[in-house]
Structure 1
Amino acid sequence: MATADDVPYTKDAAASEEKASWPQNSDSSSARIETVENAPPPNRITVDKATERAVLRKLDYRIVPMVMWVYLMNMMDRVNIGNARLFGLEEDLNLANGQFQLAVSVLFVTYCLFEAPSNMIIKRLRPARYLAGLTVAWGFVATFSAFVNNFAALVACRLLLGLFEAGFFPGVVLYLSMFYSRRSLALRIAYFYGTAAASGVAGGLVAYGISFMDGDHGWRAWRWIILINGLPTIITGFVIPFVLPNSPETAKFLTEEDKINLIRIHESQVGSARNLREMEWPDVKDGLKDWTTWAYCFALFPMLTMLYSFVVFLPTIIHGLGTWTATEVQAMTVPVYAVGAIVYITCARLSDLTQRRGYFIMGSIVSSMAGYGMLIAEKGSAVSYAGTFFVSIGIFVSAGISFAWVPTNNPRYGKRAISTGLHLTIGNSSGVASPFLFQDSFIPGYAASIGMLGFSLCLNILLHLHFKRQNRLRDEGKFDHLMEGKTEEEIEAMGEKSPRFRFAT
């Protein structure tokens, strides 16, 4: 059966892709465009807005819905343990004090260990099939987690779940950057990452419906929640290769002209040098030495600490605000996630249009801090519940736009791959500690959350001011001397170091 690619991904095809990744030299700028391989340099032929929108629309219809669906499965498989907790998981497995939090956090041990390495190899493999294999693997682990009978088995399943899920998120961020340019990337990452909020809506609704199955066939509701969430993931994994292409050059649903235009769109913004689309180790080393790489990483750590603690413990937080039943609590989580998702996608759209990232990140962090303040104040159930909306808005917007900020400001593929991988590795390592924020009492956890978000706010302000200063100096021509004696291709190969490059701020 045919997959989403129009040619088999053989060594010859891979070589063809590599060749297609940048325009070939031509003796005549008026040479007829027959294929991707002989497209002239993009700085000579531009793509009009209507054509660009048409190409992006094809990508959006094919790629975005699939990665959103898979991430929905990913998040539901990972965090449904929070819903399962309300329906007897701790009691049935005889979990001692703190063991539930440990089971939640241990997933991130294997998750973090394999994120960056996965990003370094994804392009050497067939990206779509690589992501599909990961999906099938974690789907089986998630499904069979419904059969665990003790703490040790639960921990083993969580470790395996982290292992197979590790490469998915950073892989998709890198995958999307292969298709979408810096002007359109944040919104597509928003559609993708916004599914985390949608997973809260879907997870709450699914758990609400499944709660009525408690006792069916001798199974408690928590087992049904885990089982029914896991099965669709396995099916989805087998479908992925037939929907997602491995690269723009092998996408069956794009015409030859579409492929040419897509390359021109990318290269009109960052250039056509080889290292902008291919891995080169000097660029990887630059990523490791760049202080902004590490600032991005440690700014993300508090954001994801809040995210992971929030999505797992939101049902428990709401349950503590009143006398609602477990089923009613599940229903009350739905609007919290829905509002977070809507605001995030709106902000991501504005961020792409303005090429401003820092303003949205900083403003949303303040929103989360205000939300935690409302929870600390304990001014009544209504105020506290409203606070969860402010927290939801803040954590989804801040982390989500940060995911787009890193690839936007790193046009060289090697630097982008390592920076994105490290960004998510260090950020996701927060998942190890986040469950323990709310182990015994929520109020200390809220106070710690505000402090950590304050630290993240300071780092994001620093990054924002740094990139603004860099753009100003380039506008003033302070770095123009770096282009002296260089060819056009050498200037483009400088990536973000080129005096022509302007950072998203």
Structure 2
Amino acid sequence: MAESEKPGFEEAALDKSRDSESNAQGISLQESDFGFTPEEQKNIIKRIDRRLVVILGFMYTVSLMDRTNLGSANIAGMSKELVLINNRYNIANLVFFTTYIVFQPPSTVLIRKIGPRTHLAVITLLWGAVMIGMGFVKNFEQLAAMRVILGVLEAGFFPSCVYLLSTWYTRYEVGRRYSMFYLLGCVASAFAGILAYGLMQLNGREGLTGWRWIFIIEGTLTCALAVIGYWLLVDFPDSKRLTWNFLGQRELDWVVHRIQRDRGDSKIPPFNLRKFLGAGTDWKIWVYALIFGFSTTITYSLAFTLPLILTRSLKFSVGASQCLVAPPYALAGIVMLLGAWVGDKLKMRGPIIIFNMVLCLIGLPIMGWAPHPGVRYFGVFLVTAGANANIPATMSLQANNVRGQWKRAFCSATLVGFGGIGGIAGSLVFREQDAQSGYKPGLYASIGSSLLIIILVLLLDFGFWKANTKADREGILLEDHDEDAGPDFRYTY
């Protein structure tokens, strides 16, 4: 037997022994359970969580850290040394997203072709090398060029992760997994401000200023995690490629079967460009993308400029600002997990997103107009929590309401592509020239984004309700673009 056809390093005898043990105990198991007891099924899911969600989450940590650490470097001396006058800092943030958006659509096709291990590990290693290179740039032009290359390499990471996670879990398991994945990246990268403050203390070592060490050390960490990820990342559940010390073939067959039973799209039809792009005719795909784009407008604006807001608007010291970035993200993690648990438990998505935006609409006026810095910092907590919790909530909304592997791949690409457009907007929301006014134009833009998200969610939910009602009354098939579409699929709102 060829090596690629083997089910894994676990012995087939293990499967046989489990069958014998179950029969000996007299356990009555359905055929669809593949001989696994409920306890064994839970253990399989836990193994998937540990291996898939945790590894992807830590890799997403360095992804977020590497694309948003310009803010920490800026207040650590980069702005003065590279002469980032006028809007140069905003432009350095913005150019990343030009290539980040363009190179995303092919990624969800490429990851199927070459596999997650190779695809994700290689691009992570390469962008880690770019980060190290950013520690040696001499002027604004070189900085901008490195950010453009960084965008090319990071483009394939997030949509591939969203797509990969959606193939392993049922519709009402995926909310908590998306939240854990994003939480690991979001909260851990928030503490990058504290890490950056520590790295600033290396100022003068080897003739390099402190902000350069931020890029060099964090880039080195990224490269190390890429090597670890190559060995620990897992493939798609239906793949025959070898994954080191993971699930046996019978366990993988059970995972594929439960996905098929849940939403009926575990089978992978041959790639068809017309069918892939044809998913774009569904108006809901673009509404998901708009919701995600408006959400990332707020999250990126905070990620890029929160240290500057704390320093220049709220008048905290540089050291305090670096450290005060982290606590609001801890609250974001709590809101994120609670929203995911409630959403999965009650099988709803839209109300969770609306709740998150209400938090933003309460926090933004406090952040911008409260008389005391401490109270305004409390507003930062609410905005950070609501905006960041909305990212996995929106990912869950689209994952629950899309059927078909290639439509799912197209949706992941467009979702994250619009997230990149939100990154461009977020790069320009809090501008240097608005610092004296307390960044009021950026606050108005964030309030507008929050209101638009609520309107779009209500529009979607109304459309879902109408479609589900029609399917119940007339027996029409929803999301029936694939041959194996089933009659039981209903939209989640």
- TM-score category (smaller protein): 0.7 to 0.9
- Secondary structure at 1:52 match in 2: helix
- The Cα of 1:208 is off from its aligned counterpart by 2.1
Partner of 2:141: 152
> TM-score, with normalisation over the residues of structure 1?
0.86
The CA distance in 1 between the partners of 2:211 and 2:3, in whole Å, is 43
Matched, 1:258 2:247: no
CA contact (8 A) 1:358 1:464 kept: yes
- Matched ranges for 1:190-269 at <5 A: 190-248=179-237, 249=239, 250-251=242-243, 252-269=245-262
List, as ranges, runs of 4+ consecutive aligned residues in structure 1 with deviation greater than 6 Å: 41-48
Runs of at least 5 residues in structure 1 that lack an aligned partner in the other structure: 1-5, 18-40, 484-489
CA contact (8 A) 2:71 2:305 kept: yes
Partner of 2:127: 138
CA contact (8 A) 1:360 1:397 kept: no
Q: Give the aligned CA root-mean-square deviation in angstroms.
A: 2.6
The CA distance in 2 between the partners of 1:303 and 1:272, in whole Å, is 28
The CA distance in 1 between the partners of 2:463 and 2:288, in whole Å, is 12
- The Cα of 1:454 is off from its aligned counterpart by 1.1
Quickly say closer, same or farther: Cα 1:391–1:327, change in 2 above 3 A. Answer: same
Which residue identity is paired with 1:247? F
1:363-421 residue CA offsets vs partner (Å, 9 max, x unmatched): 10121122111123232112210100111111111122111221221120011111111
Partner of 2:446: 449
CA contact (8 A) 1:46 1:268 kept: no
CA contact (8 A) 1:200 1:333 kept: no
Partner of 1:473: 470
- The Cα of 1:321 is off from its aligned counterpart by 4.5
Q: Which moved more, 1:339-348 or 1:282-291?
A: 282-291
> TM-score, with normalisation over the residues of structure 2?
0.88
- Secondary structure at 2:489 match in 1: coil
The CA distance in 2 between the partners of 1:273 and 1:218, in whole Å, is 55
The CA distance in 1 between the partners of 2:492 and 2:3, in whole Å, is 37
- The Cα of 1:285 is off from its aligned counterpart by 4.1
**Equivalent of 2:301 in 289, 306, 309:** 309
Partner of 2:398: 406
Quickly say closer, same or farther: Cα 1:189–1:271, change in 2 above 3 A. Answer: same
CA contact (8 A) 1:367 1:391 kept: yes
The CA distance in 2 between the partners of 1:279 and 1:393, in whole Å, is 39
- Secondary structure at 1:274 match in 2: coil
Runs of at least 5 residues in structure 2 that lack an aligned partner in the other structure: 9-29
Which residue identity is paired with 1:127? P
The CA distance in 2 between the partners of 1:228 and 1:7, in whole Å, is 41
**Equivalent of 2:411 in 419, 438, 442:** 419
Which residue identity is paired with 2:392? G
Matched, 1:113 2:106: no
- The Cα of 1:232 is off from its aligned counterpart by 1.1
- The Cα of 1:150 is off from its aligned counterpart by 0.1
The CA distance in 1 between the partners of 2:103 and 2:45, in whole Å, is 31
- The Cα of 1:178 is off from its aligned counterpart by 2.0
- The Cα of 1:346 is off from its aligned counterpart by 2.1
- The Cα of 1:148 is off from its aligned counterpart by 0.4
User: How many residues end up aligned between the 2 structures?
Assistant: 464
CA contact (8 A) 2:350 2:461 kept: yes
Partner of 1:36: none
Partner of 2:25: none
CA contact (8 A) 1:174 1:417 kept: yes
Quickly say closer, same or farther: Cα 1:309–1:491, change in 2 above 3 A. Answer: closer
Aligned-pair identity in percent equals: 27
Q: Which moved more, 1:228-237 or 1:179-188?
A: 179-188
- The Cα of 1:158 is off from its aligned counterpart by 0.1
- Secondary structure at 1:226 match in 2: helix
Which residue identity is paired with 1:493? E
